[in-house]
Amino acid sequence: MVISPVHYIALPLLAAFLMPLLAKVNRELVRIIPGVVLTYLLFVSVVLMQRVTETGQPIIETLAGWQAPWGINLVFSQFTGFLVSLMVFMATLIWIFSYRFKKVDNEPALKYYILFMMLVTGSVGVVLTGDIFNMFVFMEITAIASYSLTSFYRDRDGAEAGFKYLLIGSLASTFMLLAILLLYTQVGTLNMAMIAERMHTVPVGMKVTILILFLTGLGIEAEMFPLNGWAPDAYSQAPSPVGATFAALVVKAGVYSLIRVIFTLFDIQGAYQYLIIMGIITLIIAEFAAMKQTNLKRMLAYSSIGQMGFVLIAFGIGTKEAVFGALFLMFNHAIIKSLLFMSGSFFVYNSTSKDIKGLSGIGKKFPYMGFLFSIGAFAIVGLPPFSGFWSKLYILIAAADESMLALVAIILLVSIVEIVYYFRVVAKLYFGKPTDKEVVHKPTFGGYFSMTVLAVVILLVGFYPDIITGFIHRAADTLLDKGAYISNVLSVGH
């Protein structure tokens, strides 16, 4: 079998729809098949990344034999490849984490894994596709799977969170559809490279209208203010592995689509300033809201929104260093926030309430889990020996290079807020008075394994950032080189 980017989309989708049949053969297959598929995709990632790095050229896959401007194509460049590999890596770890997950019995396990595979298909497809309408379709696949996963538990307020998410999400998708329609009437094509090429013929007023519709539609998944009302509810009501999935896959797909639209499709200068302003508002509001939260998962959700604001700021600065920092932060956010969600969920599971107050002294009962959570907390606020430090540092340097000193000040001030609320939790874990009422649930072996892997990655990248910076540098170069994207995509088959 020839390894190609199509496998990223075809295999999880096939697995998702075959699983109800396979469940009839053997119940255990339901849990094993996603792992097999994801492990194979991890192998595909390694092979394709190697190929892309060696040749320096993106792999462009035309589907159904139609060449670029007419058919749908998949673009596996150093930028999209990096994001896709990150997503598949995280999805594999989340699968290991949720294998034999406590509350997932046999019957719900089938639904859970089907939706999980759909989520992987959708968010990987958003990143790989080179067609704007195809991106919309994958966005919707991701969104519908997310709505269902948010309301997965019947005994929680999941349905309420899911309905909120669905309301915002489906309005957003309507806006995106309108944007695609207007764009199509203006440029007469749906291929993103072709759109980028013909964009200069579109009148400015129309361009701004389309861009605003796109930003409204895509800002939802990217958790951009003021479209992020769904996030705290969804993160806190969804099963814990799903919280990690949102942080590692869904939000990444959202940010990717936002960046692709602004960086490749449109060439409006003001869009970058808009990103910075929205990023600052998102960052400040989310971090202060996080400080006020009493519920651990809601706090993590607000912190996640804040990090996305940070990413938007970095992309808004728009220089090579800033984009590098933004991609680095996306990578860090995926691994660190997943670790925090995974370890935090065990604390919540073992305490009487979901509140931070209820976590008092729990770090003494689970020393290892407390250690992992602390690593995550230290990494995300950006303490030196951890990976979070480097991304924050690079973004600050990039901002200082552009002499945006007010921005540097804001970021540093907000970091203090971040430190306050994360250290408050860590302090509660270790120095609080332990309550001895709780029933002790041990994490599964898979849970221990995936959290340990994440902690090791955080430390490794913290000590040797060079193992990852090469990939991120090339990814940033690829993203910024719009001309190469257009010529590479359109030259296939000519």
Partner 1 sequence: MDPILYNKIISVGVYGSAIGLILIGLYAVLVKKHLTKIVIGLSIIDAGVHLLFIAVGFIKGGTAPIFSEKGIELVNQGTAMVDPVPQALVLTAIVIGFGVTAVALSLVIRLYRHHHTARIDHIKSLKW
Helix (H) or strand (E) holding 61, with range, is: strand 59-62
Residue with smaller CB distance to partner 1, 357 or 473: 357
Closest CB to partner 1 among 181 and 456?
A: 181
Helix ranges restricted to H, 293-404 = 296-317, 320-350, 362-365, 367-381, 387-401
* Residue 298 exposure: Cα atoms within 13 Å on the Cβ side: 15
Which H or E element spans position 60?
strand 59-62
In the complex, least distance from residue 221 CB atom to partner 1, rounded to whole angstroms = 15
Q: Tell me whether residue 270 is exposed, middle or buried, using C-beta atoms within 10 angstroms of its C-beta: 0 to 12, 13 to 18, 19 or more.
A: exposed
- The candidate with the shortest Cα–Cα distance to 371, out of 448, 461, 294, is 448
According to CB under 8 A, which one of 173, 257, 307, 387 is a site residue for partner 1?
Answer: 173
CB 187 to partner 1: min, Å = 12
Nearer to partner 1, 140 or 481 (CB): 140
Which phi and psi angles does 62 have, rounded to 5°?
A: -90, 140
Using rule CB under 8 A, residue 157 touches partner 1: yes
What's the min distance (Å) between Cβ of 161 and partner 1?
A: 6
Which of these ranges, 155-163, 198-206, 359-367, 451-459, lies near partner 1 under the rule CB under 8 A? Answer: 155-163
Give the C-alpha separation, 422 to 334, whole Å: 17
**Selected binder of partner 1 within 221, 223, 233, 287 (CB under 8 A):** 233
The minimum distance between CB 69 and partner 1, in angstroms, equals 11
Give Cα separations from 260 to 126, 197, 439, 444 (angstroms): 10, 14, 48, 39
Task: Tell me whether residue 148 or residue 387 sits nearer to partner 1 (CB atom).
Answer: 148
Supply 319's token pair.
Answer: 């220089």
Q: How far is the CB of 164 from partner 1 (least distance, A)?
A: 8
Q: Which is nearer to partner 1, 142 or 374 (CB)?
A: 142
The verdict on 402 binding partner 1 (CB under 8 A) reads no
> Residues 206-225: x/- map of binding to partner 1 (CB under 8 A)?
--------------------
Residue type, 333: H
> What is the spatial distance between Cα 228 and Cα 260, in angstroms, rounded to a whole number?
20
Is 163 a binder of partner 1 (CB under 8 A)?
yes
Give me 395's structure tokens.
Answer: 């973004």
Distance of CA 181 to the CA centre of its chain: 27
Q: Which of residues 178-207 bind partner 1 (CB under 8 A)?
A: 178, 180-181, 184-185, 190
Binding site for partner 1 (CB under 8 A): 133, 137, 140, 143-144, 147-148, 151, 154, 157, 159-164, 166-167, 170-171, 173-174, 177-178, 180-181, 184-185, 190, 229, 232-233, 236-237, 289
